[in-house]
Amino acid sequence: MKVKVILSAIVFGAATFAGYAQTGIQSGTPFGKGQDSIRCVQNLSLLASYAKQGDYKSAVEFFDLAFDECPASHVSIYQYGPSIVGWQIANEKDPVKKEKLLERLMSIYDGRITFFGNSPRYGKAYILGRKAGDYMRFADPKKDPLKENAYKWLSEAIELEKGANEASVFQNHFVLASNMYKAKPDAFKETYISDYLKVTPMLSERAASGDPKDTIYAAVKTMVDAMFAQSGVADCKTLDNVYGSQLNGKQKDKKFLDVVLALYRIADCEDSKVYFEASDYAHKIEPTAGSASGLAVQAYNNKEYRKAITYFEEAVKLESSNAEKSKLKMKVAAIYNTLNDYENAREASRVALNFNPSNSSAYIMIAHLYAQYASKIDDDPVIQKTAYWAAVDKLEKAKSVDPSSAANVNKMISTYKANFPPKAELFMRNITGDTYTVPGWINEKTAIR
């Protein structure tokens, strides 16, 4: 009788222990139950230990066990998993096995979304961004040449977290968008423009945050702007067709209007009626350098030159970039030149140089003014020609700050030198020595040639 009881107890105990030992997958719990729970913890520990050392070969076994048996146990499975499987892909020669490993890699990110996708800092958008990055790195270009899967994941990440995404999300997203536009321009044109309009305000906002860590967003925005400009998609007719009808419904949408204005400037479409309307709407909401510039161009085209100057000067005050301020002041200088107001044209050029000493256009403009209005410095025709000395000084300065301007500037120098006053005439006027101050409104010291 006792033997039967003992045997029954042994059988019951064994059955109970076997029923208690379950993996996390089997039990629906993070770590599993019984012995399998202990096994999960051990595998997690060994996985982390080998992965931290970069010994991915040894880590593979423990990662596989942890991921397959207790995937909800700890986020470290997903922190180390991509590096481990990525190492396997990089070292695998068989294309079929590579494809299986890629599927495995993608399932790691899917698992992280399932079990840890609600993390406030490293949530679904973050995971999708990393998933897309690895897909772009490892996917077979023959099977998905445009990496359209990655594009979809990145688009979703941007919708979910907007500007809070990593900078790489925006960079990868726009690289893929650009490739898709190149491959199928007619089908993808509006989506491509829409993508640009969507990400640009987010990048601008992050770049202007003041956080040193966010400077990378400014670099990405520069890249995005350059890629978009080089794509050729932003021709004036296309922009008018896409945005002309949208303005009426977005007259008070400042973010939309600001991006449209930037888009038209990149495409050099500032003569467009749509650009003027957008500038007007944006300026009424909150004046910006972009909206003021748009109104200035409109006024200039209407030959309202003084009004154009006023708007450009307002744009200078609103603009934060010194390089852009310099360009705006040169537009003011050009208008003053149109009005034959040479002294104010020179002053605007000098201010442009204060903002950007490397602005060769400012030196060229002053040289042009000296040559064009040489007759205003004196009644004597020989004295008037000394203005060309000062003009050549400015042209030489233009070349020194911007060597790329040398070809055009050298042509101007040759023309101006031909107008230098004859030495005999200079002697008759007692203009001798090494230096001379050009009189009149120019009033600059120069070398006697």
pLDDT at 21: 57
pLDDT at 313: 98
pLDDT at 9: 32
Same domain flag for 104 and 6? yes
Same domain flag for 219 and 110? no
pLDDT (average), residues 388-402: 96
Cβ–Cβ under 8 Å, residues 46 and 40: no
As a whole number of angstroms, the distance between CA 434 and CA 422 comes to 15
Same domain flag for 194 and 151? yes
Mean of per-residue pLDDT scores for the chain: 91
pLDDT (average), residues 46-65: 97
Q: CB atoms < 10 A from the CB of 362, how many?
A: 29
Look at residue 225 and tell me if it is in a domain. yes
Same domain flag for 161 and 207? yes
The highest-confidence range among 107-116, 193-202, 252-261, by mean pLDDT, is 107-116
- Tell me the backbone φ, ψ of residue 246, rounded to 5 degrees: -85, -20
Does pLDDT of 24 surpass 70? Answer: no
Give the pLDDT band (50/70/90) at residue 23: low
> Which residue, 93, 116, 139, sits at the end of a domain?
116
Least confident of 85-94, 209-218, 357-366, 368-377: 209-218
User: Which amino acid is residue 26, in one-letter code?
Assistant: Q
Look at residue 28 and tell me if it is in a domain. yes
Same domain flag for 133 and 155? yes
Same domain flag for 152 and 182? yes
pLDDT tens digits along 157-178: 999 999 999 999 999 999 999 9
Does pLDDT of 15 surpass 60? Answer: no
pLDDT tens digits along 180-189: 999 999 899 8
pLDDT at 13: 36
Cβ–Cβ under 8 Å, residues 233 and 192: yes
Residues 6+ apart with CB under 8 A from 328: 289, 293, 312, 315, 316, 319
Residues 6+ apart with CB under 8 A from 288: 258, 261, 282, 318
Which residue range forms the structural domain that includes residue 84?
1-116
Give the pLDDT band (50/70/90) at residue 230: confident
Q: Is the pTM here over 0.85, yes or no? A: no
Cβ–Cβ under 8 Å, residues 392 and 447: no
Same domain flag for 196 and 110? no
Question: What are the distances in angstroms from CA 330 to CA 30, 350, 397?
Answer: 67, 9, 17
Look at residue 91 and tell me if it is in a domain. yes
The torsion of the CA quartet 333, 301, 289, 349, rounded to 10 degrees, works out to -10
Look at residue 13 and tell me if it is in a domain. yes
Look at residue 378 and tell me if it is in a domain. no
Does pLDDT of 398 surpass 90? Answer: yes
pLDDT at 20: 52
pLDDT (average), residues 217-233: 89
| Six token digits for residue 440 | 């009149």
Same domain flag for 108 and 175? no
Least confident of 252-266, 356-370, 416-430: 252-266
Look at residue 440 and tell me if it is in a domain. no
Does pLDDT of 109 surpass 90? Answer: yes
Q: Which residues pair with 437 in a beta bridge?
A: 445
> Which residue, 187, 207, 233, sits at the end of a domain?
233
> Which residue, 175, 199, 233, sits at the end of a domain?
233
As a whole number of angstroms, the distance between CA 16 and CA 4 comes to 18
pLDDT (average), residues 332-339: 98
Same domain flag for 85 and 105? yes
Question: What are the distances in angstroms from CA 448 to CA 62, 113, 371?
Answer: 85, 77, 16
pLDDT at 12: 31
**Alpha-helix residue ranges (DSSP H) falling in 254-386:** 254-266, 273-285, 289-301, 305-318, 322-338, 342-355, 360-372, 381-384
Q: Interhelix angle for 148-161 vs 167-183, to 10°?
A: 140
pLDDT tens digits along 289-313: 988 998 999 999 999 999 999 999 9
pLDDT at 2: 38
Look at residue 24 and tell me if it is in a domain. yes
Same domain flag for 194 and 147? yes
Number of domains in the chain: 2
| Six token digits for residue 205 | 């906002």
Look at residue 406 and tell me if it is in a domain. no
Same domain flag for 176 and 108? no
Give the pLDDT band (50/70/90) at residue 266: confident
Same domain flag for 14 and 40? yes
Does pLDDT of 226 surpass 70? Answer: yes
pLDDT tens digits along 405-445: 999 999 999 999 999 999 999 999 999 899 999 999 999 99
Residues 6+ apart with CB under 8 A from 216: 167
